[in-house]
């Protein structure tokens, strides 16, 4: 480790290659369509062999979305508290997982490609849902430190955490789908603010619905 970033050359190069492949995949999907963006074409543009492609991404869709398993896992390992609203904290965590990879142009690309192929959002959600165990453990940790859940057992915390997580994921999915189907916001305001508010209102709606339906 003789450099400034704390990462060896190998790791940096690996991250860079991952990004190159992702960008190639996403751009190709935007330019010529998802079907035409074949793995061979993506690999060509990225300047790697098709075999190397699979050393970085298990599926084409993962490459288009730029899902970097290592980065996602690292993001999960960050210790997070929950100071304010639990649902909002969870929203931030989930969206952080979406964008885990370091960023750069990627966010915009990802947004465009999901806009064009909304089913990728579902894919993305499924991927996050696969982290269910780790995520619900985090939420359970939050509950354990929350005075309002002090009287509950650890098992009950986990139970509640799973439900909260599932509900949040569903709500994020709805939120993002709406966001993706919206007409372009004219590149005006910070595009990332809107979904968070939409999500917040959706949770509020859920609150009143639960109240009325019991």
Euclidean distance between CA atoms 122 and 202, whole angstroms = 18
# chain residues binding its own copies, by CB under 8 A: 30
Give the footprint of DNA on residues 160-189 (CB under 7 A). none
Among residues 64 and 121, whose Cβ is nearest to its own copies?
Answer: 121
CA 34 vs CA 56, 63, 129: distances in Å: 19, 12, 24
Closest residue by Cα to residue 131 from 107, 157, 87, 100: 100
Residues 6+ apart with CB under 8 A from 122: 173
Give the footprint of its own copies on residues 106-135 (CB under 8 A). 122, 126, 129
* CA 92 remoteness from chain centre: 10
Q: Can residue 149 be called a binding residue for DNA (CB under 7 A)?
A: no
Near DNA by CB under 7 A, which window of 3-11, 129-137, 170-178, 198-206?
3-11
Which of DNA, its own copies, none lies near 118, with the C-beta cut-off 5 to 8 A by kind? none
Among residues 41 and 180, whose Cβ is nearest to DNA?
Answer: 41
The CA-based diameter of the chain, rounded to the nearest angstrom, is: 62
Q: Can residue 51 be called a binding residue for DNA (CB under 7 A)?
A: yes
DSSP code of residue 147: G
Binding site for DNA (CB under 7 A): 1, 8-10, 13-14, 17, 38-40, 47-52, 54-56, 58-60
């Amino acid at each position: 480790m003789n450099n400034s970033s704390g990462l060896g050359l190998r790791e940096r190069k690996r991250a860079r290659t991952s990004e190159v492949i992702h960008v190639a995949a996403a751009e190709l999907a935007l330019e010529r369509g998802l079907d035409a963006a074949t793995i061979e074409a993506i690999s060509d543009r990225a300047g790697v062999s098709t075999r190397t492609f699979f050393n970085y991404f298990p599926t084409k869709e993962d490459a288009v979305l730029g899902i970097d398993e290592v980065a996602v896992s690292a993001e999960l390992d960050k210790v997070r508290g929950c100071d304010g609203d639990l649902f909002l904290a969870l929203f931030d965590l989930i969206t952080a997982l979406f964008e885990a990879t370091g960023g750069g142009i990627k966010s915009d690309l990802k947004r465009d490609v999901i806009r064009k192929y909304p089913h990728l959002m579902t894919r993305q959600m499924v991927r996050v849902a696969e982290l269910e165990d780790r995520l619900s453990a985090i939420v359970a940790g939050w509950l354990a430190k929350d005075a309002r859940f002090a009287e509950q057992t650890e098992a009950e915390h986990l139970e509640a955490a799973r439900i909260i997580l599932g509900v949040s994921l569903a709500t994020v999915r709805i939120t993002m789908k709406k966001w993706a189907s919206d007409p372009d916001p004219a590149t005006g305001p910070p595009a990332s603010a809107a979904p968070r508010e939409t999500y917040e209102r959706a949770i509020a709606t859920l609150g009143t619905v639960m109240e009325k339906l019991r």
